[in-house]
Amino acid sequence: MESTVDPSIITELRKTPLNAMHRRLGAKMVNFGGWDMPVEYPSTGGLVAEHKAVRAGVGVFDVSHMGDIRISTGRTHGGALAAVQHITMNDAAKLAIGQAQYSAMLYPSGTFVDDVIVHRLGDDDFLLVINAGTREKDINWVRENTASHDCKIEELSDAYTQLAIQGPHAIDLLQKLTDVDLRPIKNYWFTHGAVCGLQNILVARTGYTGEDGFEIYVPSDVATSEEVWAKVMEAGREFGIIPCGLGSRNTLRLEAKMALYGHEISENINVWEAGLDRYCKMEKGDFIGRSELQRAKDAGLKRTLVGLEMIERGIARDEYRCVNDQGEPVGFITSGSPSPTLCKNIALAYLPPSMSSIGTTVYVEIRNQKTKAQVVPTPFYKRAKKSTSQQFASTV
């Protein structure tokens, strides 16, 4: 056995305020996009146990590596909204204050700078939550492309420790720590309130697991961060909480078919190929990437993102080639893993539209072996709708 770590990238990893905590918990740490992050916590069960805790109970993730960009009013009201509309593909004008939406920043080619969650903090005040590995690129992109807009850009990435509390019992856990009534907060809505005695904390019903849950944004000093983490763990004890790392975060999001930057979406893949049409509002007016997307739409799809299930023994992994029965290359895997919930080997892949219908046989090249798979419906996993508040899963 040999681990493949590139020694050139070991130096100068960035750390979240909870880094020492993760190490005290015995977490297995990895370099994730330049960040020293916990991939799993073997002493509390490891990846599969973490995955199952989130599906059946509750788990907590340190996602402080995510970045945050605030775009607010400049000299004249409306400048921030105009800027957000210009640099993102979803329609931010449709958001109520206190509502969030999945969106993306695009290159003029209609491919992805990054996917983002846009929160409307005020009438002309927005918070964009961005990926860790693309932080610098994103902030530069936002600054350059809003330069002609009358708005204020602030990078707040290091101001917050972001915790994702995820699972069917996330609401029960968090309710013990806040005076905010969490029940009326719908999926992809947020509020501010007291959490663990800290005032004015952003509490959003968002996540990256396909399960109900909340993300909270607390001050990023180590003492506060560790105290909140400890209180979350204590409040979650009755629900069987365990700390969760990026390993289970990945298997959870894959089952829910949520895109990961650098995998399902990238600078080489456009919105239609990724199947993110419903988050792209062509009718809202012009935005970066729109004209090329219009052209791409008229030209027709060349490849599309599909779900695969392995039929023969083998696990499809990121970047493996897909071939047809003659062995000719037809596409590639973007993410692949055993699914702890389904106990099957699943994957997402780009294939020609002609091979994308459910039940189509396709082969994955696993170490030069043609291994049989078939196209299956996605998401692979969808949670049962329980409470009324979750029935409004936002698509704005």
Partner 1 sequence: MTYPPSYRYTKQHEWIDVKDGVGTIGITDYAQHELGDVVFVELPKPGAKIQAGKSFGNVESVKAVSEIYAPVSGEVLEANAALEATPEKLNSDPHNSAWLIRVKLADQTELTKLMDAKAYEAFISDKNKEASA
What's the closest the beta carbon of residue 313 comes to partner 1, in angstroms? 8
Total binding residues for partner 1 by CB under 8 A?
A: 23
Out of 14, 15, 48, 227, the only residue in the binding site for partner 1 (CB under 8 A) is: 48
Task: State yes or no: residue 11 binds partner 1 (CB under 8 A).
Answer: no
What's the closest the beta carbon of residue 4 comes to partner 1, in angstroms? 8
**Which residue number, 23 or 77, has a Cβ lying nearer to partner 1?**
23
**Which residue number, 51 or 186, has a Cβ lying nearer to partner 1?**
51
What's the closest the beta carbon of residue 232 comes to partner 1, in angstroms? 24
**Which residue number, 92 or 316, has a Cβ lying nearer to partner 1?**
316
**Footprint of partner 1 on 105-144 (CB under 8 A):** none
**Footprint of partner 1 on 175-214 (CB under 8 A):** none
What's the closest the beta carbon of residue 17 comes to partner 1, in angstroms? 19
Out of 15, 31, 33, 46, the only residue in the binding site for partner 1 (CB under 8 A) is: 46
Out of 18, 21, 25, 47, the only residue in the binding site for partner 1 (CB under 8 A) is: 47
Site string for partner 1, 15-44 (x = CB under 8 A): --------x----xx---------xx-x--
Please state, as a whole number, how many other Cβ atoms lie within 10 Å of the Cβ of residue 109.
Answer: 15
What's the closest the beta carbon of residue 276 comes to partner 1, in angstroms? 25
**Footprint of partner 1 on 219-258 (CB under 8 A):** 247, 250-251
Cα distances from 92 to residues 66, 279, 396, in angstroms, run 21, 11, 8
**Which residue number, 146 or 337, has a Cβ lying nearer to partner 1?**
337
**Footprint of partner 1 on 299-358 (CB under 8 A):** 313-315, 317, 337-338, 340
The residue ranges that bind partner 1 (CB under 8 A) are 1-3, 23, 28-29, 39-40, 42, 46-48, 247, 250-251, 313-315, 317, 337-338, 340, 367
